[in-house]
Structure 1
Amino acid sequence: MRKSIPFIILALISFIVGCANISTPQGGPEDETPPVLLSSVPEQGQTNYQGQSIFLTFDEWVNTKNIETDIIITPRVTGSFKTRVKKNTVELSFFEPFRENTTYSVGFGSTIQDITNNNPAQNLNLSFSTGAYIDSLTISGNVKTLLDQEPAEDALVALYFANDSTDILNGVASYFSITDTLGNYKFVNLPAGDYRLYATNDKNNNNKADSKDEKYGFYPDTLQLNSNLEGINLTIQNLNTTELRKLSSRHFGAYYDITFNKQLTDFQLVNNENLSFQPVGDDKIRFYRNGRNYGDTLNLIYQATDSLEYVLQDTVKLYFTDSKVEKADFTISTVPNRSQALPGDTLVFEFSKPLTDYNLDSINITIDSTQTIDLNSDAFKFNQYRTELNTGITLTELLTRQNPQMNIYTGRGAFISADGDSSKVIEKAYNFTESSETASITGKVTTDAPNIIVQLLSASNKAVVRESYSKDFSFQYLPAGRYMVRVIDDRNGNRKLDIGNMLTQELPEDIHYYFDSYYQTKVIEVRKNWENTDTNISF
């Protein structure tokens, strides 16, 4: 009987330990309730706080997520902090003391979550002061991306003191805010003073803007904060302010390439050498030998221009070497690339390499296989790089209901490239289009702006389909499809969008879209034999 006592004791201990194990309850409704803040040190709105930590107590056990990177403390603190989580409490211990007589605002975002279902605490913000009062001024507004005028969600909005020598490109701001899903932001608990405002999409989370890879924007005027400011809106866009420079100039296979550190908008030869060249991508210019002797050196002077209208003039020693690397293919396409000819369509050939010669006898254009169209080379117009040839032939002047089809045939060797390539056979047919097979979009722009650009965009890829410079615009003979109408306030009248320059405090030109308030959309959908009128825009 005495020998059974240890066994009974062990069984009793095992039962007690088993009952003490914590496990996730099975079944029942999913926990969707976020943790609630019960108390904090310092308290919300507390003044004369002299501590060096923030201590939060919640109504349930919590954990943190990316709190070191996602928490927003303004004005920015010196040094960093250490986080300690214990059950339902979170403590942030700062390595450096808070500044004297300063109001701090702490936005926790989604950094604190419950441990059962990762529900983040909602609207968790804390304000306190190390001085005798809480600063209470605010600045609020909206941030959009320039080209599509859509809200810039999760953009970093940065506020600098006006006397700060840094800006969003080269220094960290004193105050930060993050835009919501509608692009709205708000700074709270600000002291009176003068400020400068910037915004960026901050993809690398370094609290600054990288002008080469990130969108950013600025508010042009100094903000004098004596009372709450609302409606301080700005746009962000890609604008590389890096000084234009040449990265390399060297031969590549049979070619000679000059590569730059950023996108070019123009490239010209200064010493008027008879050379064939073209852009390859946004930042490279490729030269072709075009019969020059291998090893011969030419001192080439050029001018390259970037989007800021900065012009770089430089000299390179251009030469070519024999290479066994295969040359790129010589390809040709026709524009329009669809088979239906619409009013205004002009026959254009596009080439993958600069063109050096062509043979008119090898280019044959016929109407219904009976009438031959004579080509007039005097009407030919090449682009700067001779990679595009406008024939001057308007398709719909030749196509009629009685003669509904045009056939284009170019024989082998009709075109010769700067690489010495001969073109292959090309065949293309265009058909007459009845006006009833097309659609139109017309409207009016009401504005005091003297110069505007009205752009018809494809809704799918935002490519510009047509342009008009009239406030009463009409886009006729459109294929059925989905479109948008965008209006640019062309302040300088140069008939192109200028996206500004932060270095010179030049704002981008304003952009406005047609918006259907009934259907709540920018998209205009048209079908065959459809007229969309009253596409009106006011600003």
Structure 2
Amino acid sequence: MSRKILGFIFVFIIILVSYQCAQRGNPTGGPKDITAPELTRAEPPNMTTNFKGQKIRLYFNELVKLKDIQKQLIISPPLKNSPVLSPIGNANKYVEITIKDTLAPNTTYTLNFGQGIVDNNEENPKSFFTYVFSTGDYVDSLELKGVVKDAFNKKPDDFISVMLYKIDTSYTDSTIYKRPPNYITNTLDSAIIFKLNNLKEGKYALFGVKDAANNNLFDQKTDKIAFVKDTINLPTDSIYLLTLFKEIPDYSVAVPTMEASNKISFGYYGEGSDISINTLTEIPDTVKTIITKERDKDTLNFWFTPYEMDSLIFTLTNEKLKVRDTFKVKSRKVVFDSLKISMSQNGNIEFDKPINLLSNTPLIRFDSTKIKLMDKDSIEIAVNVKLDTLRNLLNFDFKIDPDQNYRMELIPGAVTDFFETTNDSVAFSFKTKSLADYGNLTLNLNSNSIVYPIIVQLTNEKGELQREIYATEPQVYTFDNLNPGKYQARVIFDLNGNGKWDTGNLLKKIQPEKISYYPALIELRANWEKIETFNLID
């Protein structure tokens, strides 16, 4: 090969190498870090016995930081004072815990950090990292497992506190209201399984609490509760089920308020069907009064014709519970609550839902001759009108046809309220869709051991009730004229036969009535006829 050719090849190689070196590209930065930080050592070591100090240091192989640590860290048994943790807001290669409490003797303590320790760059969590130490000669090693579910909703809440109380001479049924448990853990995110570790042999009471205040106590007004009726004997191989429910709160009355110049409102908690309201203040004979229950609220309204007064003194008596409360309500300058009416359904109306005229003030009478219902051809339709004084509404009962437009007209004087106020001329328009715009769903229940009565319900994706069928014996459950969408089916086992779902009660040791959910959402489209088999687990 001639020198000329060799020279040419050499120059070509140089140019090619230079070209490759000159090419610009976007740096990839390497693969994304998905590795959680690793503990390299602890001072004192994990599982230390005869712990005497106040500080713990956890060293990691990379920079770490604390994320949402106040919510993530669970200490069992709970400490009276929260420990001081660092770093807060910064990254470091160690996490330091300073204990502010005097620790109990011969006790195993567990610090579960949940997802609270993350690396500095990608925030990969050191998931459920646990540090354990004992103030005695050994570390307790027993464990307890279980599952949490919600009594009413298909999906349970997250961050459920699972509490274990030692049954000793100081334990009573009300202890959970007064002091933190001996052991505690929680469920994270959508997890339903729990595990309590490093437990001591003995007899215990097991609870689950959706702890709104994060104070490791049960507050009936705000928290959901779950309990196991039987005593837990450790050690055990059993897996326990905790079913969360919201109790009906104990009866109590809120401080009444003068909402309007003609209305005083009395809010209450718990069972209020037997409440009576009486005035201790002498009221002039010319003043008229009436008491109504506010629609869909636990509130009683004391209505009166306004007059000059400084204050009123009331007694509220719960006849069933034999409880009496006395309140003084001072007069204040507020507006008169005057008559306003509306319809329970507007726009597209549903075939299966009632059509009612609603009022904010108490209705006392109506004149059916001043109420007219007409269809899209302006033909008047016969309608039966009924006054429901308990719910304070007028019910309109008439044959509802598909693909129809309706117009409801009320001329002045059609309705009269307690204050002798009548309506102005008003009209409401509404319509129905074609039957082809709806779908029909049939549910067949498959089980050999259904105990009747039951309530078969359909809800939307948000859990809002759409339809229900009450059954005292086997039947096919047909839901006609449903709007297209996705539905959730459930069966309530109405053990006491009162036609509704009943929650539980902790102190009375009553578990909530059982509900079974269809495993998947049921999609229904317009003009569909769908049949589903609901296999109930015995």
Q: Aligning the two structures, in what range does the TM-score lie when normalised by the shorter sequence?
A: 0.7 to 0.9
In structure 2, give the amino acid aligned to 1:492: N
Cα displacement string for residues 262-317 of structure 1 (whole angstroms, at most 9, x for unaligned residues): 3665365478997252327734322322x586669999776559xxx867555778
In structure 1, give the amino acid aligned to 2:164: L
Q: CA deviation at 1:88?
A: 2.8
Q: How does 1:45-84 map to 2 (within 5 A)?
A: 45-49=47-51, 51-65=53-67, 67=69, 70-77=72-79, 81-83=83-85
Q: 1:501 aligns with which of 493, 502, 505?
A: 505
RMSD over aligned Cα atoms: 3.8
CA 224–487 in structure 1, closer or farther in 2 if over 3 Å, else same: same
Give unpaired runs (5+ residues) of structure 2: 1-26, 280-287
Q: CA deviation at 1:502?
A: 1.6
- Is 1:279 aligned with 2:284? no
- Is 1:141 aligned with 2:146? yes
- Is 1:454 aligned with 2:456? yes
- Is 1:486 aligned with 2:490? yes
- Is 1:227 aligned with 2:227? no
In structure 2, give the amino acid aligned to 1:135: D
Task: Determine the C-alpha separation between the residues in 2 that align with 1:96 and 1:277.
Answer: 54
Name 1:439's counterpart in structure 2: 440
Q: CA deviation at 1:440?
A: 2.6
In structure 2, give the amino acid aligned to 1:260: G
CA 489–303 in structure 1, closer or farther in 2 if over 3 Å, else same: farther
CA 301–358 in structure 1, closer or farther in 2 if over 3 Å, else same: farther
Q: Which segment is superposed worse, 325-334 or 494-503? A: 325-334
Q: 2:97 aligns with which of 82, 92, 96?
A: 92
Name 1:121's counterpart in structure 2: 126
Name 1:358's counterpart in structure 2: 366
Q: How does 1:405-424 map to 2 (within 5 A)?
A: 406-423=406-423, 424=425
Task: Determine the C-alpha separation between the residues in 2 that align with 1:409 and 1:146.
Answer: 45
Q: 1:255 aligns with which of 236, 257, 262?
A: 262
- Is 1:327 aligned with 2:333? no
In structure 1, give the amino acid aligned to 2:421: D
Task: Determine the C-alpha separation between the residues in 2 that align with 1:437 and 1:65.
Answer: 49
Q: Which segment is superposed worse, 365-374 or 526-535? A: 365-374
Name 2:525's counterpart in structure 1: 527
Partner-residue secondary structure (3-state), 1:127: strand
Percent of pairs with identical residues? 26
CA contact (8 A) 2:249 2:270 kept: no
Partner-residue secondary structure (3-state), 2:507: helix
Name 1:35's counterpart in structure 2: 37
CA contact (8 A) 1:142 1:233 kept: yes
Cα displacement string for residues 180-239 of structure 1 (whole angstroms, at most 9, x for unaligned residues): 322221101111211112222223322223322333332333222232331x22233333
Q: How does 1:162-311 map to 2 (within 5 A)?
A: 162-163=167-168, 164-165=171-172, 167-180=175-188, 181-230=190-239, 232-239=240-247, 241-248=249-256, 251-262=258-269, 266=273, 269=276, 275-279=290-294, 282-289=297-304
CA 301–357 in structure 1, closer or farther in 2 if over 3 Å, else same: farther
Cα displacement string for residues 233-267 of structure 1 (whole angstroms, at most 9, x for unaligned residues): 2233333634413423x544322314335366536
CA contact (8 A) 2:452 2:471 kept: no
CA contact (8 A) 2:268 2:299 kept: no
Partner-residue secondary structure (3-state), 2:218: coil
Q: CA deviation at 1:538?
A: 0.6
CA 374–36 in structure 1, closer or farther in 2 if over 3 Å, else same: closer
Q: Which segment is superposed worse, 271-280 or 37-46? A: 271-280
Name 2:12's counterpart in structure 1: none
Cα displacement string for residues 450-473 of structure 1 (whole angstroms, at most 9, x for unaligned residues): 322212213345134333335532
CA 294–405 in structure 1, closer or farther in 2 if over 3 Å, else same: same
CA contact (8 A) 2:293 2:301 kept: yes
Q: 1:382 aligns with which of 381, 388, 404?
A: 388
In structure 2, give the amino acid aligned to 1:141: G
Task: Determine the C-alpha separation between the residues in 1 that align with 2:456 and 2:446.
Answer: 9
Task: Determine the C-alpha separation between the residues in 1 that align with 2:81 and 2:316.
Answer: 49
CA contact (8 A) 2:263 2:302 kept: yes
Name 1:425's counterpart in structure 2: 426
Cα displacement string for residues 371-398 of structure 1 (whole angstroms, at most 9, x for unaligned residues): 5445556xx251514x22224x2424xx
Task: Determine the C-alpha separation between the residues in 2 that align with 1:239 and 1:463.
Answer: 20
Task: Determine the C-alpha separation between the residues in 1 that align with 2:394 and 2:251.
Answer: 34
Q: Which segment is superposed worse, 206-215 or 296-305? A: 296-305
CA contact (8 A) 1:458 1:484 kept: yes
Task: Determine the C-alpha separation between the residues in 1 that align with 2:46 and 2:272.
Answer: 54
In structure 1, give the amino acid aligned to 2:195: K
CA 426–169 in structure 1, closer or farther in 2 if over 3 Å, else same: farther
CA contact (8 A) 2:291 2:300 kept: no
Give unpaired runs (5+ residues) of structure 1: 1-24, 516-520
Cα displacement string for residues 30-72 of structure 1 (whole angstroms, at most 9, x for unaligned residues): 5443321112244344545555543322222334456566432
CA contact (8 A) 1:367 1:373 kept: yes
CA 229–201 in structure 1, closer or farther in 2 if over 3 Å, else same: same
Task: Determine the C-alpha separation between the residues in 1 that align with 2:489 and 2:418.
Answer: 40
Aligned length: 492
